[in-house]
Chains A and B, each alone.
Chain A
Amino acid sequence: MRYLFLMLLIFSSFALAKNQTVYYEPSLVELKGVIKDLKFPGPPNYESIKNGDADETGAYLILNNPIDVILPSKLKNDSNDNDEPEENVKILQLAVENDSDWTKIKKGNYVQLTGTLFHCLTAHHHTRVLLWVEKVKVLSMQKAENIKLDISSEDQQFMSHEHLQSST
């Protein structure tokens, strides 16, 4: 009986820890997290900036909690057939619609971003899922510098091929 109770307790804690589920484009999503700058090597060899590859420093959102990203229930004209479901996503590479928003997307800022999610498609995409940022709301400024790169094991596995050069 005691074991049964223990099993139920473990099971319920897993059930409670279920990730938030969000949809790929064209659905708008609102996500909160901390901005981090990550430096990856770009063309031509995507291996080492020191050895001549382009510097692809980008802004990334480390989410408060991991999300599961699923396809819209009914594919619409503006949905993307490259998108595929991903679970336990904790980090999103940011693609920004308005250049002026970069003034708010600063490392360490705690932000709420509104936009659409899309799946990685090119070698310039360094996370499984990316966020096309349409609106930025800064919740607090540069208080979370030097935070640990806290990402899921699935994210880590994907990024193991990306030759991360540094993170700040």
Chain B
Amino acid sequence: MPYFVKGEAGLNHSIIYTDNTERYFRYSGGTWAWRDHNPGNLVPGSVSARHNQIGSTGKFAIFPDYKNGHSALLDCLKTTYKNASINYLVSKFAPAKDGNNVKIYRKFLHDRTGVKDDKKVKDFTASEFDKLWHAIEAMEGYKEGIVTEVFPITEVYRDKNGICELHIKGKGWASKSECINLAKQGCLDLIVCISHMRHEYLRARPNSSVNGSLEHMIVKKPKEKGK
């Protein structure tokens, strides 16, 4: 059963996962909590490291699956916030000025858990604790988006006008225009750029795990299509 070993921030707030068989998958749309398998919206740190964090967007920790991200949230509730009441927890977990956010968040957790007093998280019953993490995950926003397989470019051919054909791993050679369409659909980890002459061209995303610079993949002889 393949599993994700690396996660990185892709274009347009997507996350690109690499699995253990070196296939790549883009998570786009939905919410961050879904895209980075991080239902508690935790940042990278020792808690996320204990739960197999496999990357970072710069702000959010990226986990290999929901199960690990969910465990990180439970860990944080059971350690960092074990001595917190709901009011204290919200003030520390999601601090904001005396606006409505904190009040809404507190009311939501009080209503969902049924805990109205200053009972500490460590004293919650199993049922109350389940309701607590469900409520936090709901409040953080867990909405699914789209998963697309991303294919690496392995070779490119260039004629006098520049790169005209690209070899897609597992699919064979494709024209530049086909690749521009695939890049726009998120199936390639390439950036569609526009030249000063208003022509579209492709370049690799910096620091991409999927493929390196296209300039380093140029082959001298044209390849037979379909291979």
Question: Which one of B14-22, B88-96, B114-122, B127-135 contacts A?
Answer: B88-96
Q: B91 contacts which chain A residues (CB < 8 A)?
A: 95-97
Q: A122 contacts which chain B residues (CB < 8 A)?
A: 40-43, 93-94
A57 to B33, CA, bound (A): 21
A124 to B80, CA, bound (A): 15
Q: B162 contacts which chain A residues (CB < 8 A)?
A: none
Query: What is the interface of chain B mostly: helix, strand, loop, or mixed?
Result: loop
A83 to B88, CA, bound (A): 18
Nearest neighbor of B99 in chain A, beta-carbon distance: A57
Is B83 a contact of A37 with CB atoms below 8 Å? no
A81/B46 contact (C-beta < 8 A), A96-B91, A96-B95, A102-B98 known: yes
Question: Distance in Å from the Cβ of A40 to the closest Cβ of chain B?
Answer: 9
A124 to B140, CA, bound (A): 10
A56/B139 contact (C-beta < 8 A), A121-B42, A123-B41, A161-B57 known: no
Q: Is B47 an interface residue, CB under 8 A from the partner?
A: yes
For B93, give its contact among A59, A99, A124 (CB under 8 Å).
A124
Q: Is B45 an interface residue, CB under 8 A from the partner?
A: yes
Q: B140 contacts which chain A residues (CB < 8 A)?
A: 43-44, 123
Is A120 a contact of B43 with CB atoms below 8 Å? yes
Q: Is A82 an interface residue, CB under 8 A from the partner?
A: yes
Q: B171 contacts which chain A residues (CB < 8 A)?
A: none
A59 to B91, CA, bound (A): 12
Is A118 a contact of B31 with CB atoms below 8 Å? no
A162 to B60, CA, bound (A): 11
Q: B93 contacts which chain A residues (CB < 8 A)?
A: 121-122, 124
Is A57 a contact of B97 with CB atoms below 8 Å? yes
Q: A88 contacts which chain B residues (CB < 8 A)?
A: none
Q: B94 contacts which chain A residues (CB < 8 A)?
A: 42, 56, 122, 124
A46/B32 contact (C-beta < 8 A), A56-B96, A121-B76, A123-B60 known: yes
Is B95 a contact of A93 with CB atoms below 8 Å? yes
For A57, give its contact among B57, B80, B96 (CB under 8 Å).
B96
Chain A positions 123 through 163: 1 when the CB is less than 8 Å from some CB of chain B, otherwise 0: 11100001010000000000000000000000000001110
A19 to B199, CA, bound (A): 53
What would 17 A/B residue contacts be, using CB atoms closer than 8 Å? A37-B97, A44-B140, A45-B31, A46-B32, A57-B99, A58-B96, A84-B45, A96-B95, A97-B91, A119-B45, A120-B45, A121-B42, A121-B93, A123-B32, A123-B140, A124-B93, A161-B58
Q: Which 4 A-B pairs have the closest CB atoms?
A: A44-B141, A95-B95, A123-B41, A124-B94
B residues with CB within 8 A of A? 13, 31-33, 40-43, 45-47, 57-60, 76, 79-80, 83, 88, 91-99, 101, 139-141, 143
In the complex, given contacts A45-B13, A124-B94, what are 12 additional A-B residue pairs having Cβ atoms less than 8 angstroms apart?
A43-B140, A44-B32, A44-B143, A46-B32, A55-B99, A56-B101, A81-B47, A82-B80, A84-B46, A94-B95, A105-B97, A118-B92
